Amino acid sequence: MKLKLLSLSLAIMLVFVLLVSQGRVSAATDDGYTGFSERLYTQVLGRDSDPVGLEYWSNRLRTHQISFADCARGFLFSQEFISKNVSDTEYVSVLYRTFLDREPEPSGLSYWTGRLGSGSVNRDSIIEGFSDSAEFRNMCASFVGSSSNGITVCIDPGHSGVVASGYVPIGPGSSNMKLADTSGTRGRWSGVNEYVLTLQVANQLRAELQSRGYNVIMTRENGSVAVDCVTRARIANSGADICIRLHADGLDDPSASGATAICIASDNPWNPQTYAGSYRLSTCILNSYCSATGIRSRGVSAQNNMTGNNWSTIPCVLFEMGFMTNRGDDLYITDQSNHQVMAAGIADGIDAYFS
């Protein structure tokens, strides 16, 4: 019996050593992911973490299988938390502690508990407002700051609820003028405006990229400010390594479907030095996105008639995520439950580009 116990102990130790050597047991070194996971045990479940659970969640974050927001949702949707049957007041307080790292202010607590009490929202739905907040993004950034990869990505959510007026040069110094911006398209079946969709996916992509160690800047963070295409490019040029311009397509023909990546052509008269990088970035993102989502690829289109691309001095892609005038594409890309998959697909393409 003693021999069997000794053999079993040695086997367990061997498995543990192998896991450590493969990077699968790393709670002893807090790279930010462990710390974030550990705080969820305290804030959501009200207890200390268990080693197996802590390693599970921190490794899922570390290997980019989930975002910080998804990790938090995993705890909030767990049977352990649900079984606590907390009041609306305590539930809202938990969301404040989890996503904002603070206690709720009286007005915010009253607002959210009032909406829950009236039935205008449910507990699951209000999580999105907290997870999309700037406070939560800043908190996530603080956890991965020490493991930043030093790469900055600019995300440009196409269009806006307030459209920039007037005209801008299609390229630096060009006499050819184009509209500063347009209102974009709208989901024929979903009814969702393109500018709403692009910001939703941009916020998800930002969280995904930050969880992977990227620094992220945004050209807009709401739909109430007009931003013309030249300004968007200048924001990206001011410190980003690449620029991802998120859009969605629309045509009168409802049979048209699929995702397209648009970059400058090799004979671009303004910034031809970015062509090779832009084409490769476009290819990486398109392939990864279509593989992740199942949306068909329409290929990479190289052209010189996109103002934001022409003004970019860094590798840049205008990425059409699908057709909002095609039933299948529209209902898929506007379904927020698919946005994590879409963002992860784009992020995988960015990883591939830099690798």
DSSP-based three-state secondary structure for 159: coil
Residue 93 lies in a domain: yes
Beta bridge partners of 167: 179
For residue 315, give both structure tokens: 């590798």
Whether 64 and 169 share a structural domain:
no
pLDDT digits (tens, 9 = 90+) for 183-222: 999 999 999 999 999 999 999 999 999 989 899 999 999 9
For residue 121, give both structure tokens: 């929202």
What was the pLDDT predicted at 20?
37
Whether 188 and 131 share a structural domain:
no
Q: How many angstroms separate the CA atoms of 272 and 250, rounded?
A: 28
pLDDT digits (tens, 9 = 90+) for 257-296: 999 999 999 999 999 999 999 999 999 999 999 999 999 9
Whether 192 and 324 share a structural domain:
yes
DSSP 97: I
Percentage of residues of the chain with pLDDT beyond 70: 89
Residue 45 lies in a domain: yes
Whether 133 and 248 share a structural domain:
no
For residue 201, give both structure tokens: 């996916």
Q: How many angstroms separate the CA atoms of 183 and 154, rounded?
A: 21
Q: How many angstroms separate the CA atoms of 49 and 55, rounded?
A: 10
Whether 168 and 306 share a structural domain:
yes
Whether 69 and 166 share a structural domain:
no
For residue 19, what pLDDT band results from cuts at 50, 70 and 90?
very low
Spatial contact of 325 and 248, defined as CB atoms under 8 Å apart: no
Orientation angle between helical segments 51-62 and 33-40, nearest 10 degrees = 130
Whether 87 and 159 share a structural domain:
no
The domain boundary, picked from 91, 117, 138, lies at 138
CATH code, 88: 1.10.3130.20
What was the pLDDT predicted at 9?
44
Whether 65 and 126 share a structural domain:
yes
How many domains is the chain partitioned into structurally?
Answer: 2
The domain boundary, picked from 113, 138, 163, lies at 138
Residue 200 lies in a domain: yes
Q: How many angstroms separate the CA atoms of 31 and 197, rounded?
A: 33
Instruction: State which residues form the domain around 31.
Output: 15-138
What was the pLDDT predicted at 11?
44
Residues 206, 207, 208, 213: is their CA dihedral positive or negative? Answer: positive
Whether 118 and 181 share a structural domain:
no
Q: Which residue has the higher pLDDT, 348 or 8?
A: 348
Nearest to 232 by CA among 158, 283, 320: 158
Residue 9 lies in a domain: no
Q: Average pLDDT, whole number, for the chain?
A: 89
Whether 96 and 19 share a structural domain:
yes
For residue 106, what pLDDT band results from cuts at 50, 70 and 90?
very high
Q: Which residue has the higher pLDDT, 20 or 150?
A: 150
Which string of DSSP letters, residue by residue, matches 170-200? SSTT-S-EEES-----B-TTT--BHHHHHHH
Whether 166 and 118 share a structural domain:
no
Whether 132 and 186 share a structural domain:
no
Residue 181 lies in a domain: yes
Residue 158 predicted with pLDDT over 60: yes
- The backbone torsions φ and ψ at residue 5, rounded to the nearest 5 degrees and listed phi first, read -65, -40
For residue 147, what pLDDT band results from cuts at 50, 70 and 90?
low
pTM over 0.85: no
Residue holding tokens 């969880």? 211
Nearest 5 degrees, angle CA 28-CA 25-CA 216?
A: 80
DSSP-based three-state secondary structure for 317: strand
Residue 4 lies in a domain: no
Residue 123 lies in a domain: yes
Residue holding tokens 């390693």? 55
CATH code, 289: 3.40.630.40
pLDDT digits (tens, 9 = 90+) for 22-77: 333 333 445 688 999 999 999 999 999 999 999 999 888 876 667 788 899 899 99
Residue 122 lies in a domain: yes
